[in-house]
Amino acid sequence: MTDIARQRAERLAAQPLITLASGPGGFFRGTINDLRELWKRRELQGILVRRELKNRYKDSALGFLWTLIKPITMLLVYYFALGQILGASRNTPEYAIFVFAGLTIWGLYADILTSSTMSILQNAALIKKVYMPREVFPLASVGSALLNFCIQFGVLLVAMIVFGQVPVNWDSLYIIPAVLVVAIFGTALALVLSALNVYLRDVQYLVDVMVVLLFWASPVVYAFRSVAGSDAAGVGTWLYQLYLLNPITIAVVAFQRGTWLHGHGVETSLAKSHIPLSHNYPADLDLRLIIAIVVGLVFLWFAHRLFTRLQGNFAQEI
């Protein structure tokens, strides 16, 4: 018997026996523990995010450049085709900036939902062979979506300067809660959807359809004021209230407020329109943002509890 063996035995004897989870997994057990475990795995998380980004453009010659090419092309299309040729810019000044801002924040949301839903299934090979907290996979999807968002946001900033807007004023602060709302709800949904998709493969198709539908439920390509000023869904109607219940709508509007300076009512061209300027943004945007963040955090907690409950059977179901 070697010394190493004796040392190992002593070291092991000093450690407590760890009981592995059994049964379907409790709902209220150990959020703190899970978070600590996840924090310990942050390096793995970084590796997974990098892998996901790489995977997106794998085997392509231009690779990461595609992340830039796509949004720039989009920006140009919206500027020329929609703005100049189809004339959307007559109702909405700086239409290109407006729509690009909306698409940037919406794109973050859509990106999180579609990529995270598949994340557990795509990592089946790993999940079946090694133990690790399975949250890392949907979280890596969220992380890579956030990085892509940052790149697109950079393009947006450049575009704002090119189009002659100074990109900093007090309203710029709205960008922060806007991104927070999308990130919180996106992460919560990422956990729920990725776990459900293991048991029911239809979820991934359902998500695709929902993303298309939800796109029109937020003022991404049309201006918020055209909703607020309309007869059917204008201020005061129940449809308007329903419309504002969608946290992503709140986030999109706040993001536009932070990046699209022409929406602030100073522009004379807007004043000519029959819709009052106060309809550019919902009246209680700040309060709604705070509520969205608080509700989002509660939802995130529930989503994580659901995830830990479902993850016990991942390895045998995929």
Partner 1 sequence: MAAKIPVLKDAPLVIRMAGLSKRFVIRKEKSLKERIVNFGRSNKHKDDFLALHDLNLEIHAGQTVGLIGHNGSGKSTLLKVIGGIIRPTTGVIQRRGQIAALLELGAGFHPDLTGRENIFMNGSILGLTRKQLAGKFDEIVEFSGIGEFIETQVKFYSSGMYVRLAFAIAVSVDPDILLVDEVLAVGDEAFQQKCMNKIRQFQQEGCTIVLVSHSAEQIREMCDRVIVLDHGNVIFDGNTENGLSALSTSFEE
State the residues that interact with partner 1 by CB under 8 A: 1-2, 4-6, 8-9, 12-13, 15-23, 25, 41, 43-44, 47-48, 51, 55, 58, 123, 125-132, 199-202, 312-313, 315-316
Please say whether the beta carbons of 163 and 96 come within 8 A: yes
Minimum CB distance to partner 1, residue 129 (Å): 3
Q: Which is nearer to partner 1, 23 or 164 (CB)?
A: 23
d(CA 293, CA 283): 18
Q: Which is nearer to partner 1, 44 or 295 (CB)?
A: 44
d(CA 99, CA 223): 9
Minimum CB distance to partner 1, residue 315 (Å): 5
Largest CA distance in the chain: 92
Sign of the dihedral through C-alpha 59, 62, 63, 67: negative
Q: Please calculate the CA angle 88-89-91 and round it to the nearest 5 degrees.
A: 80
Cα 224 from chain centre:
20
Q: Which two tokens stand for residue 24?
A: 């379907």
Q: Which is nearer to partner 1, 6 or 90 (CB)?
A: 6
The total number of residues shown for the chain amounts to 318
Q: Which is nearer to partner 1, 13 or 32 (CB)?
A: 13
Q: Which is nearer to partner 1, 10 or 231 (CB)?
A: 10
HSE-CB at 152 with a 13 A cutoff on CA atoms is 25
Q: Which is nearer to partner 1, 45 or 152 (CB)?
A: 45
Minimum CB distance to partner 1, residue 314 (Å): 9
Minimum CB distance to partner 1, residue 112 (Å): 21
d(CA 173, CA 61): 38
Please say whether the beta carbons of 91 and 226 come within 8 A: yes
d(CA 168, CA 172): 6
Minimum CB distance to partner 1, residue 201 (Å): 6
Minimum CB distance to partner 1, residue 139 (Å): 14
Rounded to 5 degrees, what are φ and ψ at 133? -60, 125
Minimum CB distance to partner 1, residue 249 (Å): 28
d(CA 183, CA 297): 10
Minimum CB distance to partner 1, residue 299 (Å): 24
Amino acid (one-letter) located at 288: R
Q: Which is nearer to partner 1, 281 or 314 (CB)?
A: 314
Q: Which is nearer to partner 1, 144 or 249 (CB)?
A: 144
Minimum CB distance to partner 1, residue 147 (Å): 18
Please say whether the beta carbons of 255 and 175 come within 8 A: yes
d(CA 297, CA 184): 7
Q: Which is nearer to partner 1, 21 or 287 (CB)?
A: 21
* 25 CB burial (10 A radius; 0-12, 13-18, 19+): middle
